[in-house]
Amino acid sequence: MPSDRRLHPVWRDGGAPTGGAAVQPTLDDLGVPLSDVTFVVVDLETTGGRPVDAAITEIGAVKVRGGDVLGEFHTLVDPGGPVPPFIQVLTGITTAMLVGAPRIEQVLPSFLEWARGSVLVAHNAPFDVGFLRAAATALGHPWPGFRVVDTVRLARRAVTRDEVPNYKLSSLAAFFRATTTPDHRALDDARATVDVLHAILGRLGPLGVTYLEDLETASDPVPTDVRRKRTLADALPDSPGVYLFRGPGDEVLYVGTSTTSVRGRVRSYFTSAEKRPRMVEMVRLATRVDPVPCATALEARVRELRLIAEHAPRYNRRSRYPERMPWVRLTCEPYPRLSVVREVRDEPGSAWIGPFASAGAAQLAVEALHEAFPVRQCSKHLPLRPAAGASVCVLGEIGRCGAPCVGGIAPAAYDEVVTAVRGAMADDPALVVERLAARIRSLVAVERFEDAAAVRDRMAAFLRGAARTQRTAPLARIPELTAARRTDDGGWELVLVRHGRLAGTACTGRTDDPMPVIASLRATGEHVPTPVPPAGAAHPEETDLVLAWLERPGVRIVHVEGEWSCPVRSAQRVDPVTAVALDLALPPTGEPEETATLAPVVPLRPAHTA
């Protein structure tokens, strides 16, 4: 049956997902316990140290599971040449002993089949596995892709140098009192390695190494107290979603997301793959991890943003305070001016661009507009007629302002300036780019490179803010849009967007009709109040994520209320560096505004009828 998922508020006070029953994780979700893993402990004897100029002379292996020996594999191998004298002394294997022994092309297929589906273990695994892989490659046999465990690396984690002089097999076998003494013969060395492996696993168990996934990173240089917390990931789902690390007081320390496996991503925090000191500090404080399973990667990313904005976790550095992202406003008054504000309000006649990442970036955009247009820069309210006794400011004296405060510019002429500013903000940035690019070139000509770079930065800040508005505002104006994209298994991933906010998601199977699911999604999706344009109803980064998904190849617009379009001559098409370096010739201004419809509405069908 098709699955219908709506985005709801996701937490109760206790931290459990709302609107859903508790799910008992399966053994597959938890990982593979070491007691259920089949290990093949292998040892080789060879005629030298490198596969390029040496060959295998003996293979010995022991298959074990849960501490029980399931079988053994042992054979001599004819290397196709004499055994060097020092190898004969070391191993006791002579050239005469190998006469009549099978060649590696006869032995290797049998060994690979015998070991298939197991985890290979060896003492100094790169040596033994390297010879086996080289032989498989030379014979044209595909390598089965075994998981490999190296007891040397595990021993360095489990045994201190105060306990053993070195990590040779003979030293470890003696320390752990192995039942077989290694003697440089393959089967005896493999048997000794089995005892060493079991002893090491006994030491690592109290450190939280109880699953195969733990063992694969057990040799990482991770603090013991951090590694012990790997059990926090045991019950997490192996699917896309969001995870919340919680502290001793149930506070949210950190919110993260995984588009593939929450369990796998959380496990990485307890290995050497995590190198950020603040994350190690966070893990030390964490007492549990709460998952929020998601149907799709888009839903996971959106939920992450919302939870970060809701909880403002101290270990998250981005997206915590969306309400602090500023806008640039062109005011609506007799003589409009530019200002940096924190909120978009319903002010007919005003123009806006943003939001910006910081107040500094918004101020750079204001400076770019001031450099391109003689719009006033004072902050006081000016009457339509100049007040008696008003005096011109310095900017008016040097021609950087029309000086409406003293009647230096007629209202109609100032309206023309404001119209040009409004057009640059909302539709076409050509005049800003042309004027600032000319200024940059003139500064470069007299080798004032730092000043030129400052002008370039102002241009770039303005273009980023204008482009963001021109890209997101059209979507924010749309009351409802439904889109779909084929999934890898032939089904449909469905998305409901209202005023730029993800209002719901759903997935269907390959043979399911998606249209009834879309109807249900539209009927049950989140209600989103109409925002004040050009602001959307979501965190700006959420709208960016939705737009990125909608613009992916293969996405189909199924239903849209109104029109989804953007200006043809928008700020998105201009790169500030290219505009200056190549003296970009922009289209002439003053032409009627054009729009481009972004996508047609198309019907959907199940995969078997498409």
Positions annotated as catalytic residues are: 184
* Token code pair at residue 104: 């590696």
* Token code pair at residue 380: 């006081």
C-alpha closest to that of 133 among 154, 153, 106, 104: 104
Phi, psi of 109 (to 5 degrees): -60, -40
- Contact call for residues 116 and 144 (beta carbons, < 8 A): yes
The angle formed by the CA atoms of residues 36, 42 and 45, to the nearest 5 degrees, is 175
Burial (CB count <10 Å: 0-12, 13-18, 19+), residue 54: middle
At 7, the amino acid letter reads L
Q: How many helices (H) and strands (E) does the chain have?
A: 20, 18
- Contact call for residues 477 and 497 (beta carbons, < 8 A): no
- Relative orientation angle of helices 186-204 and 151-158, to the nearest 10 degrees: 40
Q: Are strands 288-293 and 481-486 parallel, antiparallel or unpaired?
A: unpaired
Long-range CB contact pairs, 133-137, < 8 A, 24+: 134/51, 134/52, 135/51, 135/56, 135/104, 135/108, 136/108, 136/112
Establish how many alpha carbons lie within 13 A of residue 182's alpha carbon, considering only the half-sphere containing its beta carbon: 28
- Contact call for residues 203 and 164 (beta carbons, < 8 A): no
- Is the bond leading into 355 cis (omega within 30 degrees of zero)? yes
